[in-house]
A = this chain, B = another copy of it.
Amino acid sequence: MNMASTVPVALRDGAGDRDAHDRVVVSCHGLKRSIGAQVILDVNRLRLARGRIYLLSGPNGAGKTTLLRVLAGLDRASCAAFQFDGEAIDLAQYPQSVRRRIGFVHHHPLLFSTSLHANIGYGLKAAGVARAEAKRRIADAIEWAGLGGLVDRPSRALSAGEKQRVALARAHALDPVLYLLDEPKANLDERGREMVTSLIGC
């Protein structure tokens, strides 16, 4: 297996013990995306269970990024019976409530041209988390990602790895059920890779 072209999909373990069926977070049949005549994604059956980590592995252009984007609702795909956490979802009309339970991080993440705090707090604000609570969770995420020394830097000035960390912290702050991380370790140093490991457990 080839780390650098490996994309983890991780699911956090739900509290309590439920039976196997309960543990399925994402399931679908016949997930297919084609552009023109070209099929760039064709997954017969997909089942992602809670508490597990999936590493998508394959050569460049295999469709790893595409699969993550489809699951995050960024790319359209045809699909038979998409379910998220037991709920039937129309992939084309991805509901916001589901979005908030997913933490997607671009392969090469983009930071908004606001402050580091505002970047990390973005999802919390969108979710309507109260200010004091949001502040606490931002501080936690900054501490978790070891970004303390960077809070005053303009976000466009950050290095590739620093940006990656901010993006991970931004997803982490939302405490999602499902992480969809596209090559999350590619830009990171030892410390950063440990961070990802602590996030998804691999």
- Provide the bound-state CA to CA distance between A193 and B186, in Å: 13
Given contacts A4-B185, A60-B165, A165-B60, contact A107 B190 (CB under 8 A): no
Stretch at the interface among A95-103, A128-136, A155-163: A155-163
CB of A60, distance to nearest CB on chain B (Å): 3
Q: How many positions in chain A have a CB within 8 Å of any CB in the partner chain?
A: 30
- Provide the bound-state CA to CA distance between A4 and B161, in Å: 10
- CB of A5 within 8 Å of the partner chain: yes
Given contacts A108-B108, A183-B187, A187-B186, contact A160 B4 (CB under 8 A): no
Nearest neighbor of A107 in chain B, beta-carbon distance: B160
CB under 8 Å from chain B, chain A span 175-202: 183, 185-193
- CB of A2 within 8 Å of the partner chain: yes
Could you say which of B5, B157, B162, B193 contacts A161, with CB atoms under 8 Å apart?
A: B5
CB of A181, distance to nearest CB on chain B (Å): 13
Given contacts A60-B159, A60-B162, A161-B60, contact A189 B108 (CB under 8 A): no
- CB of A61 within 8 Å of the partner chain: yes
A193 and B4 contacting across the interface, CB-CB below 8 Å: yes
Given contacts A4-B187, A183-B187, contact A162 B193 (CB under 8 A): no
- CB of A65 within 8 Å of the partner chain: yes
- Provide the bound-state CA to CA distance between A164 and B190, in Å: 23
Given contacts A108-B160, A157-B35, contact A5 B189 (CB under 8 A): yes
Identify the A interface with B (CB < 8 A): 2, 4-5, 35, 58-61, 65, 107-108, 150, 157-162, 164-165, 183, 185-193
Chain A to chain B: the 7 pairs with minimum beta-carbon distance, closest first: A60-B161, A186-B186, A5-B189, A59-B189, A61-B159, A108-B108, A60-B189
